Structure 1
Amino acid sequence: MNLNKTTKWMSYEELLPEIRLGDIVEIKRPFYAHASIVVDIHGKKITVVHVDGNKARTLVTTRSNVHQDPLEDVYHGDDVRINNGFDKEVPPSDVDSIVEAAKRRVGQVYKYHLIEQNCQHFATQLRYNDKEGWSWESHDLNWVEELRKHDEERKRQEAMEKQASQCCIVS
C-alpha cells in the first residue's frame, strides 16, 4: 500500500507501476475527479471498486450501484493519479481490510449525493474505515474554481470564434 502518496496527474500507462492494493485512484473528469479503490492487480490489469454517480445529474440524493470494474474500463483515456494524501491526517486501515470492505459493497446500492456523499466519500470511507465520511474541505479538488475556469474558457472561445467569423465577411 502506498502511504501518504499523491502522484501528479498522468496517463494510465505511467501510473501502472505505482499502483498498490488499497490505493485511492482518481480519474480526472472535466469538473471533478472520479474516485475508486484498487482491489486487485494482475500485471497491467487493475480492478477497482467505485460508485458510479454519472447518472446523478442533480444535487439531490439519488441511488447508485457499487461496481467492480477494470480500471481501464473506467478511466476512458482521462488522466489518473493516486491520492492517498489523507493518510497524513488519518491512518488508513490495513490493505486486506480495505480490499475486503470494498468487495463486500459490490452490488450494493449507495445513497449518492453530488456534494455530501459522492465517490470521493465512498473511497475514503473504505480506505480509512470511516463510517461518517470525510470533510469535503480537506479534499483538494476545487471543483467550483474548475467550473468557473471552464466557463471562462468557453466564453473566450466563443468570442474568438465570433470575432473570426466577422473578420471575413465581405459586403
Structure 2
Amino acid sequence: EPKPGDLIEIFRPFYSHWAIYVGDGYVVHLAPPSELAGAGMTSILSALSEKAIVKKELLCHVAGSDKYRVNNKHDDEYQPLPPSKIIQQAEEMVGQEVPYKLTSKNCEHFVNALRYRVARSDQVRDGPFAQLTGARHEQEENRL
C-alpha cells in the first residue's frame, strides 16, 4: 500500500512510467500533453514531446490496466526528503508546463528530484533507452 511521498513505478510496455504518491489514491506525475492513462504504445510516441504537464490524478486512472508498485529504490543511496516536503513541492507544481526530454527531463527524473533532490533516470542510463539514445554516456546526475 503506497504511503505519501512514495515513488510509484507503473509498468508500461517497454518502459516504466513514474509518479509520486500524494495520498487519498492520488499521484502527481509528469506527462507529455498527449499522455493517456494506461496508454501503452501510444504513450511511447508522446515521449517525443518537448513539453510536459505536471498532473495530479488518481493512481488507478494513471496506471489503467498496467501493473504498478512502490519503488523507493534509492533510499539507501540518498536521504529522502520528509513526505510533507515531497508532497508540498509536488502539489505546487501541478498544472505547470515544464520542459521534457527523454534523456534528461523525463517522469523518472521528475519524481527522483522531488523525493531525493537528485534528478536521475536509471531506465535511461541503464535500461532499454540507453542503447537507443546513447544516454548512458551523456546523462549525468543532477543534484538539485
TM-score of the pair, normalised by structure 1: 0.63
- 8 Å contact kept, 1:59–1:115: no
Task: Report the CA distance between 1:64 and its aligned residue.
Answer: 0.9
Distance 1:58 1:79, change over 3 A: closer
Q: Tell me how far 1:144 sits from its aligned partner.
A: 4.3
> Percent same amino acid at aligned positions?
33
| Two-structure CA RMSD over aligned residues (Å) | 2.5
Corresponding position of 2:53: 65
Unaligned runs of 5+ in 1: 1-17, 148-171
Cα distance in 2 for partners of 1:47, 1:77 equals 16
Deviation at 1:114, TM superposition (A): 1.2
Counterpart check, 1:24 vs 2:7: yes
CA spacing shift, 1:141–1:22, aligned 2, 3 Å: farther
CA shift, 1:57, in A, is 3.2
The 5 A counterparts of 1:1-171 are 18-41=1-24, 46-53=25-32, 54=35, 57=45, 62-130=50-118, 133-134=119-120, 136-137=121-122, 142-144=127-129
Report the CA distance shift for 1:60/1:125 in structure 2 as closer, same or farther (over 3 A).
same
Q: 1:64-112 CA deviation, whole Å, 9 max, x = no partner?
A: 1100000011001101011101111101000100000000000111211
Q: Is residue 34–residue 120 contact of structure 1 (8 Å, CA) maintained in 2?
A: yes
Deviates more, 1:53-62 or 1:87-96: 53-62
Q: From the superposition, tell whether residues 19 and 31 of structure 1 become closer, same or farther in structure 2 (CA, over 3 Å).
A: same
CA distance in 2, matches of 1:141, 1:83: 17
Q: Per-residue deviation at 1:61? A: 6.1
- The worse-fitting range, judged by mean Cα deviation, of 109-118 and 87-96 is 109-118
Structure 1 or 2: more helix by fraction: 1
Number of residue pairs matched by the alignment: 122
1:93, 1:128 within 8 Å by CA — same for their partners in 2?
yes
Give the deviation of 1:141 after TM superposition.
6.7
Task: Select the structure of larger CA radius of gyration.
Answer: 1
Measured in 2, the distance between the counterparts of 1:138 and 1:74 equals 19
CA deviations over 1:11-69 (Å, ceiling 9, x no partner): xxxxxxx210000001100111110001122xxxx100001133673776611110000
Gaps of 5+ in 2: 36-42, 133-144
* Bigger fraction of residues in strand: 2
Letter in 1 for 2:73: G
Q: TM-score, normalising length from structure 2?
A: 0.74
